[in-house]
Structure 1
């Protein structure tokens, strides 16, 4: 043990001795109650540690994620809100999308565009798109690489919206390259 680790262990031991001494003085007439409280807090601590350790297993139920099946198909579970969400890797950066079969193009929100190194201030917003929130202006961009599991596209065209878009949308110009099947509570994409 180096000096710093030894000092930390000593400091922790002093804190534990002080806390233990306080418990002994405070509960000297009620030692049974002190033991019950200590046991309760110990179980709470163990429960938190177990929850943390099991989070990777629980996460699949709480926040479903896409998977690549052995056949090479991409399987996307339906989220609790009824939508399907895919994460594409664009130019090496993971970008979450909501599957929108009513959208014609791949639409990036300004925050996602900035994460990809696209400066929305430098874009010429010459196009328009009709959305559920009205008409928004759009700018066309080209994405060097777009990857979904084993599938890869190069120089793929997309749009960046001028207005606020909380969630980037994955439209039919991208989804059209796949055979889409809705199998119960999941979407299956195959080429």
Structure 2
């Protein structure tokens, strides 16, 4: 089991202990009224957290990296394909955008992966859905999607307030196949 699986198992066991203990406490008829109400509210909040956790787990499926350099990305609730890549050791969630010509990083993501956004030169321009923006060319030392690792990947940092980063065609062209299988975007090396 992975560490995340153990943590989730521990969470569910703790949830079972809290709810089970509250039920036993209530059924036994012991304790004062105030204490029973406190336990009831703990159970209600725990149930709400549990429900929210299940909803979040089910609402946003994650990509799978399979053997042979195949990446399957399910469509998200917003109708886009989101991919989590590891850039310079940091996880970055990106929208796969075949309309973007290159990898476009938000300033926040660029700073998080170690690019000094105060020292880069915004010498280019790009046309986005929000209009023309200034861009700065950069290089990503290591770009990984699961076991697929590329080095020295060209990208640009967008000066404006872009809400996230985009995985554009300059990187997608590194795959032999980019296609759709139902609600999956499939990338194959």
- Tell me the TM-score normalized by structure 1: 0.73
Deviation at 1:119, TM superposition (A): 2.0
* Residue matched to 1:181: 179
Count, aligned residues: 160
Deviation at 1:41, TM superposition (A): 5.2
Deviation at 1:51, TM superposition (A): 3.9
Cα–Cα, structure 1 residues 164 and 41, in superposed 2: closer, same or farther, change >3 Å? closer
Equivalent residues of 1:120, 1:162 under 8 A apart: no
Larger Rg: 1
d(CA) in 2 for partners of 1:39, 1:143 = 51
Gaps of 5+ in 2: 1-29
- Out of 113, 120, 133, the residue aligned to residue 136 of structure 1 is 133
Matched ranges for 1:93-172 at <5 A: 93-172=90-169
d(CA) in 2 for partners of 1:103, 1:125 = 18
Deviation at 1:148, TM superposition (A): 0.7
Equivalent residues of 2:88, 2:114 under 8 A apart: no
Cα RMSD, aligned residues only? 2.9
Gaps of 5+ in 1: 1-18, 25-33
* Residue matched to 1:91: 88
